[in-house]
């Protein structure tokens, strides 16, 4: 047949882990998962990949240990089992050979343990999975360039602001010149300044201030300080 039925047991410790007794995989928290594998499967890595996908486990952060409940001897009324750790491709071959040589066995039972990897193992596994670190670095560099350009734009804006301040000062100077030329409109219209000045000059011509001039001696000096 093209595919082989596999029962995966996972989720807790074994109630009786004695390898020589080969008892069914039972214990607190253990759950069973049913899947199928191709009979042409030959390597341990292929088997691990199928198991990881079935358990939705991340191979980058977990290491997997596989225990096979191997048929050891066939008696008249029963079959004895042993536990065998699946650690190499050779063990995978033994597992399939047992299935072919013993017709009473219709499937494979595997007990799965997931162990967290060490930090250095996680880093090596991530590297083997081709984590796209260079792309992330490139993207970061792009953002840095944008930030530098943004700073240049800010500096350029500051220079423009300085020029605007100079232009503003020039406008203030122009406003000061305008203030010098400014004449109070009501005064210019009413003519009060012009009338007072003309009246003062006429009084001088008439000699209205003659007595004041005689009171000042020619020898006296006015203090103008």
Taking only the tens place, the pLDDT of each residue in 87-120 is 999 999 999 999 889 888 889 999 999 988 876 5
Pairing of strands 62-74, 31-38: unpaired
| 137-176 exposure pattern, b = at least 16 Cβ within 10 A, e = fewer | eeeeeeeeeeeeeeeeeeeeeeeeeeeeeeeeeeeeeeee
Task: Report pLDDT for 88.
Answer: 96
Alpha helices in 39-132 (DSSP H): 44-55, 89-101, 119-128
> How many Cβ atoms sit within 10 Å of the Cβ of residue 9?
21
pTM of whole model > 0.75? no
What is the distance between the alpha carbons of residues 82 and 21, in angstroms, rounded to a whole number?
6
Task: Report pLDDT for 44.
Answer: 94
What is the per-residue pLDDT across 12-52, written as a single tens digit (0 to 9) for each?
A: 999 988 998 899 999 999 999 999 988 888 899 999 999 99
Residues 6+ apart with CB under 8 A from 105: 71, 79, 98, 99
Phi/psi zone of residue 13: left (φ > 0), alpha (ψ -120 to 50 degrees), beta?
Answer: beta
At residue 160 the predicted structure's pLDDT band, cuts being 50, 70 and 90, is low
What is the distance between the alpha carbons of residues 68 and 167, in angstroms, rounded to a whole number?
87
Cβ atoms of 85 and 65 closer than 8 Å: yes
What is the per-residue pLDDT across 165-220, written as a single tens digit (0 to 9) for each?
A: 555 455 455 555 555 554 444 444 444 455 555 665 666 666 655 554 555 454 45
Task: Report pLDDT for 132.
Answer: 43
Task: Report pLDDT for 200.
Answer: 58
């Amino acid at each position: 047949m093209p595919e082989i039925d596999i029962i995966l047991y996972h989720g807790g410790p074994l109630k009786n882990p004695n390898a020589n007794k080969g008892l069914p995989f039972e214990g607190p928290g253990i759950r069973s998962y049913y899947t199928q594998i191709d009979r042409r499967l030959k390597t341990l890595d292929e088997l691990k990949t199928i198991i990881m996908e079935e358990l939705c486990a991340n191979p980058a952060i977990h290491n997997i240990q596989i225990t096979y409940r191997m048929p050891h001897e066939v008696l008249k009324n029963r079959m004895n089992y042993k536990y065998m750790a699946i650690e190499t491709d050779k063990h995978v071959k033994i597992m399939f050979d047992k299935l072919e040589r013993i017709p009473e066995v219709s499937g494979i039972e595997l007990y799965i343990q997931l162990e967290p990897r060490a930090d250095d193992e996680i880093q090596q596994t991530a590297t083997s999975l081709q984590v796209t670190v260079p792309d992330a670095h490139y993207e970061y560099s792009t953002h840095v360039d944008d930030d530098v350009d943004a700073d240049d734009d800010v500096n350029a804006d500051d220079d423009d602001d300085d020029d605007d301040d100079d232009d503003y000062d020039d406008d203030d100077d122009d406003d000061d010149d305008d203030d010098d030329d400014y004449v109070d409109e009501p005064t210019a219209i009413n003519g009060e300044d012009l009338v007072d000045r003309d009246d003062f000059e006429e009084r001088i011509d008439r000699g209205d201030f003659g007595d004041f001039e005689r009171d000042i001696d020619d020898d006296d000096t006015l203090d103008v300080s």
